[in-house]
Amino acid sequence: MFHCRFAARGGYGGEPASPICRAMIAFIVAVMIAAIHTRTACALTVATATATVAEFDADAQQVAIANLQRYLQLDTAQPSPAYASALTLLTQLCFGVPNMKTQVSSFVRGKPVLVCSIAGDDPDAPSVMLNSHTDVVAAGNLSSWDFGPFDAERVPSSRLADALTGDDHIVARGAQDMKSVGIQYLEALKLLYRQHPKRTFRRTIHVVFVPDEEIGGADGMGNFVESEWFQRMNVGVSCDEGIASPTDEFELFLAERRPFWTRISVQDVPGHGAMVPKSTATLTLTQILANVATYRKRIAAEIASGEKDLGEIVSVNINHVSAGQAHAINVIPEHAVALLDIRVPPFVSAQQVEELIASWMPCAGCGIDVSFLYRVENGEQTSLDEDENPWAAVFKEATSDLKLRRPSVFFGATDGRYLRAKKIPVFGFSPMRNTPVLLHKFNEHLSTHVFLEGITVYSRIIATLANAPVLLHETVEKLEL
């Protein structure tokens, strides 16, 4: 018997003592890696078979559309979402998915998290999570809607000025953001079981419905990712929301911008309104805001020319300005304040943001104070580099027959940031092409054809992710335990 002894450094961290052993181990690891890659290729090839909308049984199509309408008819708009009704309906829909078990828990009273799981053949393999949020934003001014926002009416495209496909559309708040995706996950699983009733998945699948994304997610996903429940789920990869695409390419998001809510206050000497002092607090603030406006003009031009996407730039809006008292127009005020909403892509550092803000200042040491009401230091990105993120190769394979636009940074915030902060790769993907971007807008709608196509798209993504063999980084992590 041949032994390789490791230099004593404790645990598994030691170096093999002899060069022969090192060479042997290098060879064994190379063979293991090759084997894993081969297994990946085989599994992915098998998983590529999927249905198109045309092959999708007509009755099942109507059931899927009806289920979407039922979900959309529940008024889960902030600030008073009907979460209990949504929970009842979604639990009932999960009963229609073979082998699915549901579990519910609330971290904050009245705000339930629902996890619908299908156990995989390999219980130790990290699981696949399919996330959606159950709340929607308020419908706003009802007179601006041509249809009831919670009627989920099915209307022909001729009744919608901005429809991009010729078939029927479902009009409702949440049709795009993102009740459609939640239903697509469940219907995709049903489709997979209809294709192969006895099928199993290598990895456990969790379809997750969380509350409160539209108000920041602290009571929903924020609490959920910190729970033991979530830890036990051993999530390896997740899908979450993206946005619609008006072209025939699908959008994919791998990161999102983070907020830097900034307060700029200026202090100067107060005085009589008839005087002309060299500087005043309002004058200095005006100069700062003029510099902000010049910067804003430049980035607006970059977006308008198509040079950059909104998600790729540091954007800024002046959302509050105050100084002086309305009843004291003859007094030069001592203070002037502005609040800026700055949004920062993940590849821009906090220091770069501070430098940008500093560049707007007209003078140093002249009574200006910059503070942050809220800022997120680092933004995590999901890498598409297959060496950094082996799930990237799996996702690419799962979407290899789709026209995907160059991956982008989501311009707003989603629950995906909580998962990425836990180093979980998240693919922000709502399969809605040939669709105007209507999230948070009036007459939010989705074509029935696009919705059904999304089910077939997700059926392939789910099958490919859930059947992915043990990936290289998972093997390494196991060895390190």
At its nearest, how many Å lie between Zn ion and the CB of residue 133? 6
d(Cα 303, Cα 323) in Å, to the nearest integer?
Answer: 32
Nearer to Zn ion, 389 or 408 (CB): 408
Provide the Cα torsion 437, 440, 446, 450; round to 10°. 50
Nearer to Zn ion, 113 or 178 (CB): 178
Nearer to Zn ion, 114 or 353 (CB): 114
Which residue is at the shortest CB distance from Zn ion? 177
Please state the φ and ψ torsions of residue 261, each to the nearest 5 degrees: -85, 115
At its nearest, how many Å lie between Zn ion and the CB of residue 459? 22
Q: How many CB atoms neighbour CB 66 within 10 A?
A: 12
Contacts of Zn ion in 161-190 (CB under 5 A)? 177-178
Contacts of Zn ion in 211-250 (CB under 5 A)? 241
Helix 448-466 crosses helix 179-195 at what angle (to 10 degrees)? 60
From 168, 187, 212, 213, the catalytic residue: 213
Residues 126-165: x where in contact with Zn ion by CB under 5 A, - otherwise, as a string: ----------------------------------------
At its nearest, how many Å lie between Zn ion and the CB of residue 413? 9
Residue 386 marked ligand-binding:
no
Residue found under tokens 């009963």: 95
At its nearest, how many Å lie between Zn ion and the CB of residue 419? 14
The alpha carbons of the chain give a radius of gyration, in whole angstroms, of: 27
Nearer to Zn ion, 316 or 439 (CB): 439
Would residue 240 show up in a list of annotated catalytic residues for this protein?
no
Residue 480 marked ligand-binding:
no
At its nearest, how many Å lie between Zn ion and the CB of residue 139? 15
Would residue 213 show up in a list of annotated catalytic residues for this protein?
yes
Nearer to Zn ion, 120 or 428 (CB): 428
Count of residues engaged in binding Zn ion, rule: CB under 5 A? 3
- Show which residues are catalytic: 135, 213
Please give the annotated binding residues for Zn(2+), written as ranges.
133, 177, 214, 241, 440
> Under the rule (CB under 5 A), what is the footprint of Zn ion?
177-178, 241
